[in-house]
């Protein structure tokens, strides 16, 4: 991986981890800094989310500071300059899911464009 690719993947990972941080999630302004205006998510629930609906959920305390989301197997690849695909495993208080995100570089920095979660019953 080139230095530029490594920096791009690290920027996406940093953004992903910030979005999982309970303090960031509690602040709609901080969440908006990380979500692309065209953001879409297909959640583990099967629901389709957009920026507005995600802000409602994140500001409602969907991640507890007492039991933060546990992340493992985080990996990223640059699909094309300015677009990074991340995959990882997340455990949110026993609700385990494989997650996949697309991040794109905008004039204001890296922003999550797309996210999908698939629940798994497999023990980790």
Q: pLDDT for 13-48, tens place per residue?
A: 999 999 999 889 889 999 999 999 999 999 988 999
Separation of alpha carbons 40 and 32, rounded Å: 13
Separation of alpha carbons 31 and 51, rounded Å: 9
What confidence score (pLDDT) does residue 64 get? 55
**Three-state SS string across 96-122, please?**
EEEEEEEEEEECCEEEEEEEEEEECCC
Helix (H, G, I), strand (E, B) or coil at 8: helix
What confidence score (pLDDT) does residue 117 get? 94
C-alpha distances (whole Å) from 110 to each of 10, 20, 113 are 10, 16, 9
């Amino acid at each position: 991986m080139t230095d530029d690719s490594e920096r791009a993947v690290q920027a996406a990972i940093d953004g992903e981890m910030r979005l999982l941080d309970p303090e960031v999630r509690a602040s709609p302004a901080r969440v908006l800094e990380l979500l692309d205006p065209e953001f879409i998510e297909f959640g583990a629930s099967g629901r389709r989310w957009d920026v507005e609906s995600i802000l409602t959920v994140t500001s409602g305390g969907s991640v507890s500071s007492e039991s933060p989301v546990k992340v493992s197997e985080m990996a990223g690849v640059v699909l094309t300059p300015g677009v990074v695909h991340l995959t990882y495993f997340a455990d949110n208080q026993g609700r385990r899911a494989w997650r996949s995100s697309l991040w794109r570089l905008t004039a204001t920095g890296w922003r999550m464009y797309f996210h999908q979660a698939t629940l798994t019953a497999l023990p980790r």
